[in-house]
Amino acid sequence: METWDAICARRNVRQYLPKPVPEADLKRVVEAGWRAPSAKNRQPWDFVVVTDHGQLQELSTVWRGAGHIASAAAAIVLVVPVPPDDRRRLTDQYDVGQATMAMMIAATDLGIGTGHSSVGDQEKARSILGVPDDHLVAFMLGVGYPADRPLTPIRKPDRRPFDEVVHFGRW
């Protein structure tokens, strides 16, 4: 798939086929996150790749919007150090967002769907994954083959009108 097609085909997938994602494909998706840009090239993230069904079930309970993680073939969990201040919190969140989008596009290129989730219960998430207390479990990305339809470019995306969103030079 061409890059533009992957961007246009990417959508949140929250229902997955009961089919494993090959390890090589998971590594490629995670490598896309690893290659993402970050402020001052700090690369604040660690990624935990989970494929164990029991762990996925448990992770699906750390946020009310994480139910899709239970049926995913895998989850990629993004972990960052506890930030020392608000500025670092903002830059780390931006950086993790860039890594997440890079992984989502790489997955789409492989025909693999993704659906992101926040994490509410830090203690439980840390316990499930063995993450130390000086780190935050920032976000989770469910990964698997879409159950409803394949990933193809969306011709009429459900977006605010382009001309209302994009401003050139001034608001």
pLDDT at 1: 72
- Residue 56, phi then psi, degrees to nearest 5: -60, -40
pLDDT of the chain, 171 residues: tens digit per residue? 799 999 999 999 999 999 999 999 999 999 999 999 999 999 999 999 999 999 999 999 999 999 999 999 999 999 999 999 999 999 999 999 999 999 999 999 999 999 999 999 999 999 999 999 999 999 999 999 999 999 999 999 999 999 999 999 999
Residue 162 falls within a domain, yes or no? no
The answer to whether residue 153 is domain-embedded is no
- The answer as to whether 163 is a domain residue is no
Q: What distance in Å separates the CA atoms of residue 69 and residue 46, rounded to the nearest whole number?
A: 19
CATH of the domain at 45: 3.40.109.10
Residue 23, CB-side half-sphere exposure with 13 Å CA sphere = 1
For residue 137, being part of any structural domain is answered with: yes
Is 101 part of any domain? yes
The total number of structural domains that make up the chain:
1
- Asked if residue 21 belongs to a domain, the reply is yes
Residue 18 lies in a domain: yes
Residues in the chain: 171
Residue 17 domain boundaries: 3-147
The pTM of the full predicted model, rounded to 2 decimals, is 0.95
67: DSSP letter:
G
d(Cα 74, Cα 56) in Å, to the nearest integer? Answer: 7
Looking at the domain assignment, is residue 171 inside a domain?
Answer: no
